[in-house]
Amino acid sequence: MKSMTDQIIAMDLLISAKSGVRNYAMALTEAGTPEIKEMLSRQLEEAIDLHEKISLYVMERGWYHPWNVSEQIRLDLQNIETAMKVPSLG
């Protein structure tokens, strides 16, 4: 179960990092001054680097298959089945 928890946390972090990249990119297009654009550009680069590190982490562990859709679907279905077997706390 610990591995499943690690996987869930890592995938949530990946989704958050992806959202951060998207948000910085959108903010950059709306920036009104060169100073703000420069600051947002640096933060966007950092967000992209973080996303890459997290992506590599989850791919190395076999939790994420971005270029193999059928394998990712298989893994997602397996995770759903596992989650459905966990007893409810409520």
pLDDT digits (tens, 9 = 90+) for 46-68: 999 999 999 999 999 999 998 99
* The pLDDT value given to residue 3: 65
pTM: 0.80
The span from the CA of 16 to the CA of 69, in Å, is 21
Instruction: Assign 84 a pLDDT band (cuts: 50, 70, 90).
Output: confident
Among residues 16, 12, 7, the alpha carbon closest in space to that of 60 is found at 7
* The pLDDT value given to residue 81: 87
